[in-house]
Amino acid sequence: MKMKKGNFVALANAIREHNAASAKNGYAPAFTLDHLNTLASFCKRQNGEFKQDQWLASITGEYGKDQGTK
């Protein structure tokens, strides 16, 4: 089954929330850029229309958590 934009949005939101909690509580390591690039490569293989730059920007908060879905 092909992943869709909503799947990528949910994944980005979960990563952003994890990284925020990690920074606040120090209980778990944050995703590194290497981790994110590996996940982005996987996402691109799942759906050729995947927009890696937009996805990464949504994780850092530069694009917004809904990635333009609202």
In-domain check, residue 69: no
Domain assignment present for 39: yes
Range of 22's domain?
A: 5-60
Residue 1 three-state SS: coil
Residue 26: inside a domain = yes
Within a domain: residue 45?
yes
pLDDT at 70: 44
Q: 37 in a domain, yes or no?
A: yes
Output the pLDDT for position 29.
83
Dihedral in degrees, nearest 10, Cα atoms 48, 54, 60, 62:
-170
| Domain count for the chain | 1
pLDDT (0 to 100) of residue 17: 92
- How would you write the pLDDT of the chain (70 residues) with one tens digit per residue? 789 999 999 999 999 999 999 888 877 788 999 999 999 999 999 999 999 999 999 998 887 656 655 4
pTM for the complete prediction? 0.79
CB atoms near residue 49 (< 10 Å): 9
Question: H/E element holding 13?
Answer: helix 5-25
Q: Is 65 inside any structural domain? A: no
Q: Please check whether residue 68 lies inside any domain of the structure.
A: no
CA–CA distance, 21 with 23 (Å, rounded to integer): 5
Q: Is 16 a member of any domain?
A: yes
